[in-house]
Structure 1
Amino acid sequence: MKTHPRTTPAALADAAGTRPDRLAIVDGDTRLTFAQLHTRVRDFAAALVARDIEPGARVAIWSPNTYHWEIAALGVHWAGGVVVPINTRYTGSEAAEIIERVNAAALVVAGEFLGTDRYAQFREAAPDLAVPTVVRVPVGGIDAPADGVLDWDDFLAAATDTSRTEADTRASAVGPDDISDILFTSGTTGKSKGVLSAHRQCIGVAQAWAECAELTVDDNYLIINPFFHSFGYKAGFVAALLAGSTVVPLAVFDVEKVMAMVSEESISVLPGAPTIYQGILDHPRRGNFDLSNLRIAVTGAAPVPVSLVERMQTELNFDAVLTAYGQTEAVVATMCRTDDDPVTVSTSSGRATADFEVRIGDKDEILLRGPNVMLGYLDDPEATAKTIDSDGWLHTGDVGTLDERGYLDITDRLKDMYISGGFNVYPAEIEATLLTMPGIHEVAVIGIPDERMGEVGQAFVVPLDGSSPTEDDVIAYSKEKLANFKRPRSVRFVDHLPRNPSGKVLKNVLREEKS
């Protein structure tokens, strides 16, 4: 029986050795086999070595879904480093906070993307924060990198035979328990938390996801979920690497673009939020595209109506539609199986996978335990101890039930977190930001229903005496400080916030008062 690799360098070496000519990535005109991917990754790692980046160094990646992201991430691992993904929707100040907290030795950053020069934003937000090596990913219209920034091709050209040899030595030395990545998830204390994971965990959850989705070497996997998120990264290209599937990354979501790519690249695996499938089903030009190769859909993060599952299977011809549940601290903990019926898929998030145990604790909180629970939070043992108890159970903050088959149904959240456009949003982080705005005394944020985004933020603001900020003022300030999905869409001004005797804001009262 073949043993699975337990690090990404071992997984890449295995893929390049066993299926060298199979396509690993298709990104527009760029088509790389696993052997070619291996070569590019070695060059990236060797270039890091040539820049004196040591094993264990942290490298931030702030870029959209392109083949560069996968090469950079696997290259960092090959050089013995730690990947730190940054949300492409983050502002310069949000990105700078993460870069500073991890003491990043290098930054891989997009050129102009969606009309924004992210590196310029970062430099403006943190002019005194030095990152020794900055590599520009050529995804936009900027003609040349800024001073001190290396163009992608120029950076790769720095690889030498000597640095490749050193990189290969480091790759061989990477162990299952070595840190593979630090993924930041917004915290309920108002400050984001860095989730530490080991290579064995990155591989473990990816392997489990690939097995539940029944990924094969014949699959072409369109990855819409962003690579900076564990869904696009670990359940995305790492899962594909293990299964030998072809990754087709999508940098910017557009329904018609998705249908065109499904048709042109014979996409068989298409995970994403329920709104993606609804958009395809309702699109007036759906009949113009060949979607017949679709096989597996994996969704979650929002309720999935039975009718949608049935339409996906009958009108889009999916063999199976799966739902899953996880969080950054556990990645994927439960998942449906391909033989589950539409009602099970619609009303549950599947059963345990990736060697997780699942149980329901006090106040019906979902608890998880297993080898793939995070190692802990970066530089925050107190928060780690609050989240993982002495018996090893991860307290998710989500409320749910388990049926007699072990299938999990998520019914509520203990936390105030809401989901906007598929992204988790934590009001405490928004509140902490808005409290820095002149003229604001108190603020509380809740999620309210939105037809397009699922939920959006509504801020309740108590102005300082003598101040009179407007809704436009608050929203404009949030645009400067917060990523788009975090920004409140509406503001209500109140004389005071409702509180209980201990002083905690009663957000249930605010939800009843929402406009």
Structure 2
Amino acid sequence: MLAHLRIPEPILFLKMTRSVSIRESRPFNSRYFSLNFNLRQWARANMSEYRSFKDGMYEDIEKEVFNGVEMRHYKDRPNNLVELLNTSVDRFSGRTAVVDNDVRISYGEFHRLCRNLALSLTSLGINKGDRVAILMNNGWEYAVSYYGIIQTGAIAVLLNWRCSGSELEYMLDDSGAKYLLMGGEHWEKLESISKTKISLKGIYTTHDHVPGKTECFGDLLEPDFQHASVEFPSIHEADPAAIMYTSGTTGKPKGALQTHRNCVANAVNVCKVAEIDENDIQIILAPMFHASGMNAGLTTCLYAGGSSVIRPSFDPLDALTQIQEEKITVSGGVATMWWVILHMTPRSDFDLTSLNKIIFGGSPVPTELIQQLTTAFPNVRFGNIYGSTEATSTSSYNTHEDILRIPEAVGQPLPTIDIKIIDPVSGIPKPHGEVGEICVKGPTVCGGYWNRPQATQETS
């Protein structure tokens, strides 16, 4: 049964089963990725107990037809990610956008750096639709790289630095990236790559510059012509913004092609259901090459006008230090991270009173952990998300009120998302309470797989 969230009828809840398998599933009028979940549907009599999304959540939503498919979207939304950033710059120019150790960048300065990078890339011959790859650890340079690339109309290719040299070679070859922006610490992997298989015209490193082999990333941010009047290409919401590679279960990684429309829809959805606003300071612990770190993390916070404190990775003591020193209000992460913080750190030595939201994702949340967290953080509101790279990160959300009762669930479809549970063989919707494949429809579902027309056709 399809969940229509506008209608105050039984709510579709998604509850994880103990065994979760990943597969590409059957068509649902759009592209999607699926997991095995157990379907729970709560009756109208229980609406007072399980009603999750606040009043007025759907007032800005309208139906529209996109690529022949009717779906819901927000009427008042940015047309693309460049407009999303520019709107926040206009509203919050002097406020902090990004923090990375001792580096603090305001919205105005962030916009300047992104524009300068876009100018430099344009001068190097980057045009709309070209690909520019990023291979960096989390940091302010990553944020600037992503938003600088998309300002040119090019597509940012987000590479997983955990991949082997041969895997990176495949992704660079598959994407046809013209330039690579990278952290110098990853140079060894790159040296093993066959230069005959990839079409890179240049490599720019953030540090550990290799004379004769790489150029300095910093030079791209301060071009001599930074005050030049340049008109960047117009960007339609259906234009591609990023390629994120996802491995699935077999074969080589597939590049999920995320459009500006996808990324904007995801940011607006997450801001609304998680109630993120300009007063929030979030800590980004997930890798920024992942949809959690970039889409649910950085882009959502930029849309809201909040601040993002970017960390290179999850370290429990560092996380506690950042929460205390930066007055973090929002943190994400898998449940295991918070188990470690609860049981393996001297958390009582830190002032964590600024924290008011913890949003889980990527794994089940044990009931016992929620009970322990509510005792340790009585003023924190919790949430849990389910999503995928192919759906730009987030498809459903379990709010604080519901996670206290059913922590193992991943909640309701987001306001512009439809979900149904099907039999993986027949494609017929499953009866209530039975395990089936999740099918997702909505403006966050990606535009297909890069260079994989057959894989795209199989899921569309």
Q: Identify whether the pair has TM-score above 0.5, normalized to the shorter chain.
A: yes
Q: Find out whether 1:379 has 2:451 as its counterpart.
A: yes
How far apart, in 1, do the equivalents of 2:317 and 2:78 lie?
A: 38
Cα RMSD after superposing both structures: 1.7
Q: How does 1:438-477 map to 2 (within 5 A)?
A: none
Q: Find out whether 1:84 has 2:157 as its counterpart.
A: yes
Cα pair 2:133 2:157 within 8 Å, conserved:
yes
How far apart, in 1, do the equivalents of 2:335 and 2:153 lie?
A: 37
TM-score, L = length of structure 2: 0.78
Per-residue CA shift, 1:436-491, capped at 9, x if unaligned? xxxxxxxxxxxxxxxxxxxxxxxxxxxxxxxxxxxxxxxxxxxxxxxxxxxxxxxx
| Counterpart code for 1:127 | K
TM-score, L = length of structure 1: 0.70
Cα pair 2:93 2:106 within 8 Å, conserved:
yes
Query: 1:26: which partner in 2?
Result: 99
Query: 1:355: which partner in 2?
Result: 416
Q: Find out whether 1:157 has 2:225 as its counterpart.
A: no
| Counterpart code for 2:366 | P
| Counterpart code for 2:405 | V
Q: What is the CA distance between 1:58 and its match in structure 2? A: 0.6
| Counterpart code for 2:388 | Q
Q: How does 1:224-303 map to 2 (within 5 A)?
A: 224-303=285-364
How far apart, in 2, do the equivalents of 1:373 and 1:43 lie?
A: 31
Query: 1:132: which partner in 2?
Result: 201
What stretches of structure 1 of length at least 5 have no aligned partner? 113-117, 389-515
Query: 2:25: which partner in 1?
Result: none
Q: What is the CA distance between 1:386 and its match in structure 2? A: 1.7
Q: Find out whether 1:169 has 2:235 as its counterpart.
A: no
Q: 1:305 to 1:161 in 2, by over 3 A?
A: closer
How far apart, in 2, do the equivalents of 1:207 and 1:55 lie?
A: 25
Per-residue CA shift, 1:157-186, capped at 9, x if unaligned? 335147x533x432xx11111101111100
How far apart, in 1, do the equivalents of 2:405 and 2:442 lie?
A: 28
| Counterpart code for 2:143 | E
Q: What is the CA distance between 1:146 and its match in structure 2? A: 4.0
Q: How does 1:100-139 map to 2 (within 5 A)?
A: 100-112=173-185, 118-128=186-196, 129-138=198-207
Q: What is the CA distance between 1:316 and its match in structure 2? A: 2.7
Q: How does 1:299-318 map to 2 (within 5 A)?
A: 299-318=360-379
Q: What is the CA distance between 1:356 and its match in structure 2? A: 1.3
How far apart, in 2, do the equivalents of 1:199 and 1:75 lie?
A: 14
Q: Find out whether 1:50 has 2:113 as its counterpart.
A: no
| Counterpart code for 1:307 | E
Q: 1:96 to 1:159 in 2, by over 3 A?
A: farther
Q: What is the CA distance between 1:8 and its match in structure 2? A: 1.0
Percent of counterpart pairs with the same letter? 28
The size of the alignment, in residue pairs, is 374
Cα pair 2:158 2:244 within 8 Å, conserved:
yes
Specify the structure having the higher radius of gyration (Cα).
1
Q: 1:159 to 1:5 in 2, by over 3 A?
A: farther
Q: What is the CA distance between 1:283 and its match in structure 2? A: 2.6
Q: 1:221 to 1:284 in 2, by over 3 A?
A: closer
Query: 1:329: which partner in 2?
Result: 390
Query: 2:401: which partner in 1?
Result: 339
1:6 pairs, out of 79, 87, 99, with 79
Q: Find out whether 1:98 has 2:171 as its counterpart.
A: yes
Per-residue CA shift, 1:224-277, capped at 9, x if unaligned? 011000010110100001001100011022111111111110111010011111
Cα pair 2:136 2:182 within 8 Å, conserved:
yes
How far apart, in 1, do the equivalents of 2:395 and 2:248 lie?
A: 20
Cα pair 1:335 1:350 within 8 Å, conserved:
yes
SS in 2 for 1:153: helix
Cα pair 1:50 1:158 within 8 Å, conserved:
no
Cα pair 1:377 1:384 within 8 Å, conserved:
yes
Per-residue CA shift, 1:90-115, capped at 9, x if unaligned? 11211111011111011111112xxx
| Counterpart code for 2:232 | T
Q: What is the CA distance between 1:5 and its match in structure 2? A: 0.9
Q: 1:81 to 1:377 in 2, by over 3 A?
A: same
How far apart, in 1, do the equivalents of 2:249 and 2:369 lie?
A: 33
Q: Find out whether 1:187 has 2:252 as its counterpart.
A: no
SS in 1 for 2:333: coil
Q: What is the CA distance between 1:354 and its match in structure 2? A: 5.0
